[in-house]
Amino acid sequence: MVRSASSAELSSISGCDFPLPFGERILGEGQNGTVKTNQTSLARELRERQTEAERVLWGRLRNRQLEGVKFRRQQPIGDYVVDFASFDKRLIVEIDGGQHNEHGILGRDERRAGWLNREGYRILRFWNNEVLNNVDGVLEVIREALR
């Protein structure tokens, strides 16, 4: 059984609060406006500990399988790590578990989405069960957003 890492586990992995407060721990700017921080090591760890829903969707997005568009998984952007990103299309795909319904998480998700939108990204959000039970429907929504 695959499970998502908790905020405490993510903090221990990255050595910092998760998510990082805006503007902190910036070490330098990388390609496509990404920021090199200890977010890079966090992203690596998240790639190794992906959820079943992330694994299923990644299997269908990788290697330009969807509309020939390149996606990256667990990609640092600014102070955040997003589940899937297409820099060419400025599209982010997030897969959320039940913890994203909690009050404190909702506020963080809204602040994060606001910052990413101001940076020019569109965000699509899906629940884990949507991906696991209807991956073709999820892919159709992503396909429409890419057009």
- Determine the CATH number of domain 7-146: 3.40.960.10
pTM: 0.68
Q: What is the pLDDT of residue 89?
A: 98
Q: What is the pLDDT of residue 126?
A: 96
Q: What is the pLDDT of residue 100?
A: 47
CB 66 within 8 A of CB 57: no
> pLDDT under 50 in the chain at which residues?
1-29, 34-35, 100
Domain ranges of the chain: 7-146
* Residue 110: exposure state from Cβ atoms within 10 A (0-12, 13-18, ≥19): exposed
123 bridge partner residues: 92
Q: What is the pLDDT of residue 56?
A: 97
Query: Interhelix angle for 7-14 vs 39-48, to 10°?
Result: 120
Q: What is the pLDDT of residue 105?
A: 64
Q: What is the pLDDT of residue 107?
A: 77
